[in-house]
Amino acid sequence: MPTHPRSTSTTSTALRDQALRLRALTEGGVLVLPNAWDAGSAAVIASAGAGAIATTSGGVSWSLGHGDGQRLGREEMAAAARRIVAAVDLPVTVDAEGGYGPQPADVAATVRLLVGAGAVGVNLEDSTAAGGPLFPVADQAARLRAAREAAAEAGLPELVVNARTDVFLFGIGEPGGRLDEVLARAEAYARAGADGLFVPGLLDLEALARLCAASPLPVNAMAVTGGPGVAELAAAGVRRISVGTGLAQLAYTAVRRAAAELLGAGTLTELDGSLGFGELDGLYRR
């Protein structure tokens, strides 16, 4: 359940415990992460029984008036992470997009800031921009190595580094060679210190099963409406399942529908079944 905001004097031991808790959730089975985009959504997701909170860069960006795709700055993302960490007593892993800069030093600066905000996990993608191209394998490995080293320097060597590759998401290369490309990247990213491999855009269960069997890193898939569900993805060997901007899209869709009804028919049936004011307000202790 949500607790008081964590003090700036939070010890590295407490953060390390949260990082180990996040690691254990993946090692002990399949970790399902309904992605949050602000403190309120994180508190609601925690109340639904989540074991950890993952953010979505798109949702965070939209909530702060930006489009997705590293249009949000490092400091804004870290500030959003700090609010989310303060709202829940769960491990928080942050979608840090491409690390907010192309160089290893940029990634290191992002990781240090996020650890300072209380995050115990981070997603780092290998695309240079939305749609690609991707960083060369060696360059992305250097960026991941910088993340690993920065976490250790910040007192959190247990930080969970989830390496995202956008080979399938952006259709990079010939279709027949994409799985081999992902595996080559997985091997390089594992050597660089990554803890997991996130492959959004890949939902073919046969290909996922082949990837999970061959990858040196546990595989994270992004579930989407109309695609395989948790049980099917887990059966293919996926160890971590997230939904990207899915919940944020649903929330904003509900707002538009209710607003359109109110402004049009003047009725409020779209609000039927909403969480009550008291229930929502009770998620916060400050």
CA atoms within 13 A on the CB side of 237: 18
| Tens digit of each residue's pLDDT (9 = 90 or more) over 70-84 | 889 999 999 999 999
Residue in 193, 183, 204, 202 with CA at minimum distance from that of residue 145? 193
Cα 92 from Cα 14, distance rounded (Å): 13
Structure tokens at 180: 């081999």
Supply the Cα-derived Rg of the chain in whole angstroms.
19
Structure tokens at 234: 């887990």
| Tens digit of each residue's pLDDT (9 = 90 or more) over 17-55 | 999 999 999 888 899 999 999 999 999 999 999 999 999
Confidence of residue 5 (pLDDT cuts 50, 70, 90): very low
Rounded to whole angstroms, what are the CA distances from 109 to 58, 92, 180? Answer: 21, 18, 31
Residue 6 reports pLDDT greater than 50: no
Ordered strands of the 53-54 beta sheet: 31-33, 240-242, 219-222, 196-198, 160-164, 121-125, 92-95, 53-54
Q: Where is 39: in which H helix or E strand?
A: helix 39-47
| Tens digit of each residue's pLDDT (9 = 90 or more) over 59-69 | 999 999 999 98
| Tens digit of each residue's pLDDT (9 = 90 or more) over 213-268 | 999 999 999 999 999 999 999 999 999 999 999 999 999 999 999 999 999 999 99
Cα 44 from Cα 53, distance rounded (Å): 11
> How many residues are given for the chain?
286
